[in-house]
Structure 1
């Protein structure tokens, strides 16, 4: 059995590598440089990442780039396919189109013209019970600028509610250990579960201590949830499952809003944690936006 100290170090390296990939997805990511920053070999970094994330680094980079692109193609009406390819780290439009078609079985243009609906339907048919996309009240949307948030988190591969509940129970124990009274519970959606197979989605359960205090237990990885411009929606129990709301926000509200989105993740701040409190949803959903 792997010693706890070694395991914690490996988890930290894998998490920091994943965060680096997300933050630099529009660039040519240098794995040699990344390994050097951890003072380990490139081969060792690949081994650690595969053990912790269940996927090798290059596959992960490719998957994230294509998932980001699939989302931007739907929401950024004023961006060309070439511009979206560049936003996701592709220097060649032809290589992007080839990779996209291999992943989604259609070209970016076909996807943009409605092909995504068929793909999305297959995902939701296999996961949720609703027959059609519900309508949500868009009259109360707020446009705000957020500040950076310092978070302690647990990352999960797979948008699986049962597994997410376990992660939140672990975080709840961490909160009690640190005797935190004033904090935010944040669910971060790195992928759009409406167009990404749920087993491939990365979800992060996070705690943001709102007051600076000396933590008694710091064994969780920490990071910065970057601030920026967001459209904020309040969602409640009647809105059922967050995945449906994400689909509505990205596929219906955003294309008609006059805004575009970015490669930053969306997230929810939970006023009641629906993973721990009888599945009742009471949260604010933050959708990253920019002027088109």
Structure 2
């Protein structure tokens, strides 16, 4: 396969995945979407599965349920019906059926504490989270209104060595283009306390001061809005445990709710690229009242 063809496939698949994540609350019509992208729908299905190893409909269902599982915990003033609508379900009945199939309990049981046992069972098999000694209870965020960010990115499915390789590719891009004015950004689509690390999606991104047609990576917009910013330093296990704490402890007690926008981090020091494995970052969490 020619490199140009390969890059085109990667870009199309990532554009579609980005669209799904940013329109998860809507009825995603693949016929209309394929037409707008000027591509055959069946070819779009083929490319997506080739790149991500899962068909489009399975991905939409998985993303909706993962978003819903978080919102049920963090948005305590939203009804189950409102959470279902926010995650793209027009029928509460179909949402409850799909949720029970995925998590083994109803949304009501999940919200009443069922998530604790589910999360504990999952974390027992995720030893990297258990390795953290980080304490976050005293952390207090700053609330800001953040503008949109435009970035080039590489998407990975699974929190494994693939993420480090993606960051090394971005580092290679920085050296090859002599970039001096940029930000390194991670997007965290999933909560590792309720989603297996092998299923979590991660985005490694670079926001540059100037656009360049020579950068052969897909580009997207990180949504602006009101965010809570946490300043955190640590190692990889601390980051995963911190994300768990934000969703399961800080948000429910904070008086805020979150949205379907993924949280992201801007690095001052990237642990995937540092010799000591230490990160320094500002972690941005979308919030609303």
Q: Normalised by the size of structure 2, how large is the TM-score?
A: 0.95
Give the alignment of 1:87-98 within 5 angstroms: 87-98=86-97
Q: CA deviation at 1:237?
A: 2.1
Q: CA deviation at 1:38?
A: 2.1
Which stretches of structure 1, 4 residues or more, deviate above 6 A after TM superposition? none
List per-residue Cα deviations over 1:95-129 (Å, max 9, x = no partner): 00000000000110111111111221222222235
Give the alignment of 1:72-83 within 5 angstroms: 72-83=71-82
Q: Does the aligned pair in 2 maintain the 1:136–1:239 contact within 8 Å?
A: no
Tell me the equivalent position of 2:142: 142
Distance change (3 Å), C-alpha of 1:239 and 1:13: closer
Q: Does the aligned pair in 1 maintain the 2:235–2:271 contact within 8 Å?
A: no
Structure 2 residue 105 is matched with structure 1 residue 106? yes
Q: Structure 2 CA distance, aligned partners of 1:238 and 1:68?
A: 26
Tell me the equivalent position of 2:253: 256
Q: Does the aligned pair in 2 maintain the 1:232–1:285 contact within 8 Å?
A: yes
Residue of structure 2 aligned with 1:233, choices 226, 230, 234: 230
Tell me the equivalent position of 1:223: 220
Q: Does the aligned pair in 1 maintain the 2:134–2:238 contact within 8 Å?
A: no
Tell me the equivalent position of 1:151: 151
Q: How many corresponding residue pairs?
A: 287
Distance change (3 Å), C-alpha of 1:236 and 1:133: closer
Tell me the equivalent position of 1:282: 280
Q: Structure 2 CA distance, aligned partners of 1:255 and 1:131?
A: 25
Tell me the equivalent position of 2:184: 185
Q: Structure 2 CA distance, aligned partners of 1:138 and 1:204?
A: 28
Q: Does the aligned pair in 1 maintain the 2:263–2:283 contact within 8 Å?
A: yes
Distance change (3 Å), C-alpha of 1:121 and 1:200: same
Q: Structure 2 CA distance, aligned partners of 1:207 and 1:146?
A: 17
Q: Structure 2 CA distance, aligned partners of 1:244 and 1:49?
A: 31
Q: Structure 2 CA distance, aligned partners of 1:53 and 1:132?
A: 30
Q: Structure 2: 5+ residue runs without aligned partners?
A: none
Structure 2 residue 239 is matched with structure 1 residue 242? yes
Q: Does the aligned pair in 1 maintain the 2:132–2:238 contact within 8 Å?
A: no
Q: CA deviation at 1:217?
A: 2.5
Q: Structure 1: 5+ residue runs without aligned partners?
A: none
Q: Normalised by the size of structure 1, how large is the TM-score?
A: 0.94
Q: CA deviation at 1:192?
A: 1.1
Q: CA deviation at 1:133?
A: 8.4
